[in-house]
Amino acid sequence: MSYSITDYERPSVAVDAAVFGVDDRKSSTMDEKVLKILLIKRGEEPFKDMYALPGGFLQKNETAEEAVSRELAEEAGVTGSKLIPLRVFSGEGRDPRGWIISAAFISLTNTVTLSTECQSDAAEAVWMDFRYEINGSLERIIISKDETVLEILAENGSVIKNDFPFDHGTIIYEAFKKLQDEVRYHDIIFDLMPELFTVSDLHGPYQMILQKEESMQAFRKRMSPKIEETDEYDDTTAAHRKSKLYRRKLLKEE
């Protein structure tokens, strides 16, 4: 039996990216690192003016990885970030425009300065604070900036409240759960750090992402095989005593 591509209906294919970063939160008494997520304000319908994940449609002869890299550059000015495939989202009715499936990625970067190209369908790109809480079987993600507060609730692993357009609340939830696994088992926390960092810079995001309380002393001891001390100090902190800067220890090739 011969095959013809016209014998089958075909969906449109899009890409979406859950982009996480770590940024400084400074006050007169303390400095801390906080987790951020990159969102865009939609400039077109559907869901015009709502905050959503950056993304868009594949162009002809383009791979999903090439498409998500292009969209991140166009909508947010983000280039060269680490990409981790998440999964394909293909639920019925996920997009009011029709049969559209999305290949979703996690992207990790420093909280770089954002920009949006004039031809992009995004109105603007912003970094927002990301907070995760868990209470028994109920998980809560709060994403906020100034007066804007967006919430995702999940129970027993399924999203039951989504303040985002499309199924982006589910994508964000699954992306964060994947980030937790990558931090726990593959030391991906370093991809959220600049080249040089303090142990405290690592400690705060690590505890927040994994919801794990661990003393600084115990954390420093556990991380010591993976980091190496430099001769430099952090001169941006408000603390009287400057902190030693470290870098990730490169594994020796066998």
List the catalytic residue out of 45, 92, 117, 124. 124
Owner of token pair 């002809």 = 60
C-alpha pair distances (Å), 21 with each of 14, 48, 130: 23, 25, 10
Classify residue 59 by its DSSP letter. P
Helix (H) or strand (E) holding 161, with range, is strand 158-162
Q: Taking the mean position of all CA atoms in its chain, how far away is CA 222? A: 25
Q: Taking Cα atoms as reference points, which of 203, 188, 168, 186 lies closest to residue 47?
A: 168
Token pair in block for residue 202? 């690592």
Tell me which residue of 80, 71, 85 sits closest to 174, measured CA to CA: 85
The single-letter DSSP state of residue 165 is: S
The answer to whether 140 touches 160, Cβ cutoff 8 Å, is: no
- In this structure, is the dihedral angle defined by the CA atoms of residues 212, 139, 190 and 87, taken in order, positive or negative? positive
Residue 205 in contact with residue 22, Cβ under 8 Å?
A: yes
DSSP one-letter string for 66-114? HHHHHHHHHHH---S-EEEEEEEE--TTSSTTSSEEEEEEEEE---PPP
CA-to-CA distance for 234 and 254, rounded, in angstroms? 33
CA distances from 193 to 136, 149, 188 (A): 31, 26, 10
> Is 92 in the active site?
no
**Catalytic sites, residue numbers:** 124
